[in-house]
Amino acid sequence: MEAVASPSMYGASLQPRLCRSSSITRRRPAITRPNVTDHFTTHITSNPRFKEFQQQLTTKLGEASSAVSIASQILLDAFVDSTFTFSHQSLRPTESNFAPVNEIGERTEIWRIEGTIPDDFPEGVYIRNGSNPLFGALHKVNSIFGQSEDIWVEGEGMLHALYFTKSGEGNTWSVSYNNRYVQSDTFRIERDRRKPCFLSMTKGDPPAMIAASILNMLRFGKVFRNMSNTSVFEHAERVFSVAENDIPYEIDLDNLGTLCSWVVDGQWNMPFTAHPKVAPESGELVIYGFNTVKPFLTIGVVSEDGKKLERKVDLKLERCTYCHEIGVTKMYNIIMDMPLTVDLTRILRGAPLIDFETESYARIGVMPRYGDADSVIWFDVEPFCILHLVNCFEENREVVIRGFRVPGSIITGITLEHTADEEPGNQGPNEESFPRLYEWRLDLKSRAVTVINNKYAGLHHKYAYAQVIDVQGTLEGGCGTVRPKFGGFAKLHLRDNNKVHVIDAQRFGSEPIAKITLLQRVPYGFHGTFIPRNTYKKT
């Protein structure tokens, strides 16, 4: 006879077996047994003492994990403090207006106004963003790994705002000024620690750059600071500060306070362009972000009310192009795939993180507004470097793109070569050192490209405005790395860094109709905009 196992011997997990004899196979009927394990578990977990023990265990494990994390952070901080030394980068005399200024933090009335602000001048805020290093200067970092340093675009973002308000009585103008840091997450870290913490890793010795990137990631969860120092834009009655290595931060325009980061209702949590574009007629916001790993470039379309990401497309690129700006027309997104690239592997070869690959290819993509990655029409063009577009539009079957081609070294700093027997004062940049206005005409039917390089050619749009450089003033300090000395639009007032000029756009070459003297100088910034009072939400 066959013995039958009972639950008391092996527990409820033992299943009925097939009963076999030499010639007959019989299946015993299924036996229903009580689930002793489940009953025991239910009894234990419902016990109040067990619940209390479970809560205490969870708390202790959390405290232990936190203690380990804190200990690791303390050890990493101690290693960095003992191994790395921060020092200030010095400025030449002609670069003095790159030096940071103090934060005011509140609106201050301006009384020194020469001339008259016109009655039909719009009420609103002229606001600029730019680099303003938090601890007095850009930094160099020395260690046993070598030296690394910040480049000229890496200071923390500071907003400068000039408010134009018309009083109800007498129709007179009131002008006030404020400046304030953009309080990104990394800004708050360094402000609270009262010292620079992020190690420079954009330029320098390869071992130092690699060590910096690893330690920044271990300590703060990111390789770079979130500077938010490049641009300001308005959408759906909200104002944002942005740099393309981070998401935007919403700004209270009345006091320049930082309200929150903007991820488009949780749908966009990745790098965000410094130059989003409003699509003609629809009012939608075309955005994009580039990254050092695939997908290298992502295009998005935000609804007119700013509440929804209508479209998000990962493009099929083979490299990370430093894409500072794309264009829009009524129907298309215009993508500039140029050989100014960001490549982390270059650090291992001792090359710059950002570099212009002179022997590489270039192309321009025309993408339907709501197209996918396969819908992009690519046009091969001569290799170029461009940061800013003038305009894009459709004309018959062509897409016309106008922008300024610039030297490939513009990001890391233009370097002028000279021989040992040359006098620095005689060495000037050649024609290749200057931006050139270009026009590309892309025939969507024939796929042909026509290029016009003539700044005197007639333009479909009547005017184009560009910021220019005082080259000789920049070179006075000697040759080497040149930081462009920015002036203004067309008419330069290079020694009036604390003045704002109101110019009649119909008489652009004439004297300013009003000169406003600020309480302090404003460093050379990157981008600004005028926001009429009736287009932004009051907080």
Calculate the CA 138 to chain-centre distance: 18
Nearest alpha-carbon partner for 333 in 297, 291, 386, 304: 297
**Whole-number Cα distances in Å, 497 to 216, 494, 500, 518, 524:** 35, 7, 8, 9, 8
Say if CB 256 and CB 176 are below 8 A apart.
Answer: no
* Phi/psi-derived region of residue 349, left when phi > 0, alpha when psi is between -120 and 50, beta in every other case: alpha
Backbone angles phi, psi at 472, to 5 degrees: -65, -40
Say if CB 159 and CB 250 are below 8 A apart.
Answer: no
Distance, first Cα to last Cα, the chain:
88
Outline where 145-251 has alpha helix (H).
Answer: 185-193, 206-220
β-bridge pairing 362-368 and 332-337: antiparallel
Distance, in Å, from the CA atom of 297 to the CA atom of 318, rounded to the nearest integer, reads 10
Distance, in Å, from the CA atom of 106 to the CA atom of 146, rounded to the nearest integer, reads 42
Distance, in Å, from the CA atom of 18 to the CA atom of 30, rounded to the nearest integer, reads 11
| β-bridge mates for residue 241, sequence order | 232, 249
Q: Binding site for Fe cation: what residues are annotated? A: 275, 324, 388
Quick one: 24 exposed, middle or buried, by C-beta within 10 A (0-12, 13-18, 19+)? Answer: exposed
Say if CB 440 and CB 451 are below 8 A apart.
Answer: yes
Instruction: Give the DSSP letter of residue 230.
Output: S
Element holding 442 (H helix, E strand):
strand 436-443
Query: Per the structure block, which two tokens stand in for 156?
Result: 């923390």
Distance, in Å, from the CA atom of 123 to the CA atom of 533, rounded to the nearest integer, reads 6
Q: Binding site: what residues are annotated? A: 275, 324, 388
Distance, in Å, from the CA atom of 56 to the CA atom of 62, rounded to the nearest integer, reads 10
Q: For residue 431, how many other CB atoms are within 10 A of its CB? A: 6
Distance, in Å, from the CA atom of 134 to the CA atom of 132, rounded to the nearest integer, reads 6
